[in-house]
Amino acid sequence: MPFLSGTPPYRPERPVFAIVLGNTLLSTVPGVSGAGMSPEKTVLTPVLDSELITRGAIRSRKWKPNTPTGCPTPAVITRAMTVLLGLEPLFVNAGLTTRPVVPCLDVYGEPGGDPREGDAVPRARDLYARGEQVGRFLSQSCDFLLLGECVPGGTTTALCVLRGLGIPASVSSSFVNNPVALKEAICARVQERIQAGGATDPLDIIRIGGDPMLAVAAGIASAFRGDAVLAGGTQMLAVAAVLRDLGKKVPAIATTVYVRDDPSAGFVATAEMIGARVYYVDPDFSAIGHPGLARYCVGEVKEGIGAGGAMFLARLMGKSEVEIRDTILTTASSY
Amino acid sequence: MPFLSGTPPYRPERPVFAIVLGNTLLSTVPGVSGAGMSPEKTVLTPVLDSELITRGAIRSRKWKPNTPTGCPTPAVITRAMTVLLGLEPLFVNAGLTTRPVVPCLDVYGEPGGDPREGDAVPRARDLYARGEQVGRFLSQSCDFLLLGECVPGGTTTALCVLRGLGIPASVSSSFVNNPVALKEAICARVQERIQAGGATDPLDIIRIGGDPMLAVAAGIASAFRGDAVLAGGTQMLAVAAVLRDLGKKVPAIATTVYVRDDPSAGFVATAEMIGARVYYVDPDFSAIGHPGLARYCVGEVKEGIGAGGAMFLARLMGKSEVEIRDTILTTASSY
């Protein structure tokens, strides 16, 4: 199995790695999200992950954004790759419940509400426009944009948006056992609300059933004038689908083989339906020598906060598979 | 009188124009700041100015950030130059009392307190470190940094910091008649507090008597690896002095002749004392055909939110004096 499938486009000269952070109240519904040690703690994962990636350690809280079973957050992979590349990532605050501890390009949004109860992102259109503003700023000096995300519970909002756009998608999960029945129940309720409102515009569908990251990431990617690659799994499929339905160019996606191989997600088929080219990274964590990372291979975590895309970018920038795996192992072991 | 004094360094390839926004409670003390129609309204000026520069109009409030006498905010000049150059500025939120309406790179600081009452910027050292983080991010893809600021009441905190560093400086004002006695009274009280604390480190002096912009701007400039030019008047002298005393490279400053020629400020002498090279821009507003801008020549406003530096950058990027003045007149007349 090759480390990277597909031919990388080229070696960027001035890449920027932007990671959009957001919350949806859905992550506090028990069973929806495994991106944190408990449902209540999942909402803090974007802030803790961004602290870990920027500073190499988490000092603002006494716990780590690991899964309930102790798998390390994928932020250790993203941290490892930014250190290896000497790259300072840019965090974008699309709407968080808590104040970040590292600088963020803040669009001054709000966390997404529970889409079963009412509009999840009332200002979706405005957030998209603010994302465009960010995309224009980044276009001035960067020729390549890797755009990641971190939204605990975000695969469920992505499912709502993909289905709302008429795409018969399933989505992945950070749990080994994807809570498909729970997600489908939430999604069914949201589809009723979308149909009751007669919504067909992608930004209206995000407003009703999405999360703030989806609006901001779509805005950034749509306005970026260089090559953009979306770094993530099924949540980035939703961003790609939104862009397609807005009549914009559909960016490529970079993710891990653990997302591709999730039988509950149908990632490859959905990507084909949307027309998104995908680069898959296989870091072969089964042999890396870290029991928590090895659990990625049996379907836990799989991806997150741009980890797959970060490994993809490291290969683009000429780093070897050995360097990439060694740096990840060191980072995961010491954090 | 030439439009631009001194030889511009070179034409940047990938410039970034960052503008640090902050508040100090001193601007609400009657008589301190003319950067707004009333003392209470001055605190909103950074948010309104950034809205005007980004969107070309202010829609979030029903008034304009003009002086009490109706002089247009210098943001019209900054807006005009960013339009002329096709440049998207980056606003940095160092600590504001109100939520911005445009995206900002937010370091998650707080507005500065009244330095007569207690520490003005308790987290000065942390804000400086977060500024460094921003500077490192910008260094990755930009070869030139123009760094402006907007802090109503900020000449008074700049005075406190310059004097705290042992520099016998005076500072300028957005008023025609600089409220020197009021500023000196505030400064005297703050010097007592600095001396009582035995503070000599520049970041301790900002902590006691400065504002959040001073810490963040110094951090950004210190970590930026390309050429940095500070865009502003006496407040940027304080940033330059802080950098000098931290043992960092002292950046050049770009400002208007209206600051240079303010007899109450002693700008040229202080810049020489600090060792900062200064580029002066003379837009000759007396003949531009706009009564509000003409009042800049009799000493009102003078400078603000990077206006002098924005005109300097336009000349660096090859724009003619005629283009620069025409664009400013059109922008000021239509806003």
* Euclidean distance between CA atoms B259 and B296, whole angstroms: 10
Cα angle for residues A104, A256, A128 (degrees, 5° grid): 40
Read off the pLDDT band of A334 (50, 70, 90): confident
Q: Which residue on chain B is closest to A133 by alpha carbon?
A: B103
Copy the structure tokens of residue A80: 């490892």
Read off the pLDDT band of A70 (50, 70, 90): confident
* Euclidean distance between CA atoms A284 and A117, whole angstroms: 42
pLDDT for A8: 67
Are residues A105 and B102, on separate chains, in Cβ contact within 8 Å? no
* Euclidean distance between CA atoms B232 and B274, whole angstroms: 15
Q: Which residue on chain A is closest to B54 by alpha carbon?
A: A133
* Euclidean distance between CA atoms B300 and B134, whole angstroms: 33
DSSP characters for B139-154?
HTT-SEEEEEEE-TTH
Q: What is the mean pLDDT of chain A?
A: 95
Read off the pLDDT band of B36 (50, 70, 90): confident
* Euclidean distance between CA atoms B148 and B19, whole angstroms: 4
pLDDT of A69 > 90? The answer is no
Of the candidates B14, B103, B107, which has its C-beta nearest A141's C-beta? B14
User: Which of A288-302, B184-198, B269-283 is predicted with the least confidence, judged by mean pLDDT?
Assistant: A288-302
DSSP characters for A234-293?
HHHHHHHHHHHHTTPPPPEEEEEHHHHT-TTT-HHHHHHHHT--EEEE---GGGSS-HHH
Read off the pLDDT band of A1 (50, 70, 90): low
Q: What is the mean pLDDT of residues A85-106?
A: 98
Spatial neighbors of B164 by CB under 8 A, at least 6 apart, are: B190, B191, B194, B199, B205, B208, B209
Read off the pLDDT band of B237 (50, 70, 90): very high
Are residues A140 and B88, on separate chains, in Cβ contact within 8 Å? yes
**C-alpha dist (Å) from residue A263 to A176, A180, A277, A297:** 11, 12, 19, 13
pLDDT for A331: 95
Residue A92: its H or E element: strand A90-95
Number of CB pairs < 8 Å for A and B?
Answer: 66
pLDDT of B199 > 90? The answer is yes
Is the Cα torsion angle A320, A324, A327, A333 positive or negative in sign? negative
pLDDT of A34 > 90? The answer is no
CA of A90 vs chain B CAs: smallest distance (Å)? 7
Nearest to A276 by CA among A6, A11, A14, A4: A6
Q: Which residue on chain A is closest to B101 by alpha carbon?
A: A108
Type of residue at A37: M
* Beta carbons of A103 and B133 less than 8 angstroms apart: yes
Q: What is the mean pLDDT of chain B?
A: 95
Q: What is the mean pLDDT of residues A230-250?
A: 98
* Euclidean distance between CA atoms B171 and B267, whole angstroms: 7
Q: What is the mean pLDDT of residues B273-293?
A: 95
Chain Cα centroid distance, residue A261: 17
pLDDT of B213 > 60? The answer is yes
pLDDT of B8 > 70? The answer is no
Of the candidates B16, B106, B130, which has its C-beta nearest A106's C-beta? B106
pLDDT for A72: 92
* 3-state SS, residue A94: strand
pLDDT for A266: 92
Each residue of A170-201: pLDDT tens digit? Answer: 888 888 888 999 999 999 999 999 999 999 99
Complex ipTM above 0.90?
yes
User: Which of A213-227, A266-280, B29-43, B110-124 is predicted with the least confidence, judged by mean pLDDT?
Assistant: B29-43
Q: What is the mean pLDDT of residues B274-294?
A: 95
Backbone φ, ψ for residue B219 (5° rounding): -65, -45
pLDDT for B112: 98
Read off the pLDDT band of B70 (50, 70, 90): confident
Each residue of A290-316: pLDDT tens digit? Answer: 999 999 988 889 999 999 999 999 999
pLDDT for B35: 84
Of the candidates A87, A102, A141, which has its C-beta nearest B16's C-beta? A141
* 3-state SS, residue A43: coil
Spatial neighbors of A306 by CB under 8 A, at least 6 apart, are: A17, A19, A78, A89, A146, A147, A148, A149, A150, A231, A232
Read off the pLDDT band of A9 (50, 70, 90): low
Residues of B with CB under 8 A from a CB of A: 14, 16, 54, 87-88, 90, 93, 99-108, 130, 133-134, 136-137, 140-142
* Euclidean distance between CA atoms B50 and B228, whole angstroms: 21
Q: Which residue on chain A is closest to B88 by alpha carbon?
A: A137
Q: What is the mean pLDDT of residues B198-222?
A: 97
Cα angle for residues A175, A150, A148 (degrees, 5° grid): 115
pLDDT for B9: 65
pLDDT for B132: 98
Each residue of A117-127: pLDDT tens digit? Answer: 999 999 999 99
pLDDT of B1 > 70? The answer is no
pLDDT for B174: 87
CA of A297 vs chain B CAs: smallest distance (Å)? 33
Q: Which residues of B touch A88 (CB under 8 A)?
A: 133, 136-137, 140
* Beta carbons of A71 and A332 less than 8 angstroms apart: no
If you search the block for the tokens 């001055």, which residue do you land on? B42
Helices B212-223 and B234-245 cross at an angle (nearest 10°) of: 60
Q: Which residues of A touch B59 (CB under 8 A)?
A: none
Nearest to B81 by CA among B333, B312, B335: B312
pLDDT for A15: 97
Are residues A103 and B105, on separate chains, in Cβ contact within 8 Å? yes
DSSP state of B4: B
pLDDT for A180: 93
Of the candidates B108, B134, B141, which has its C-beta nearest A141's C-beta? B141
pLDDT for B69: 84
* Beta carbons of A65 and A36 less than 8 angstroms apart: yes
Q: Would residue B31 be called left, alpha or beta, if left means φ above 0 and alpha means ψ between -120 and 50 degrees?
A: left
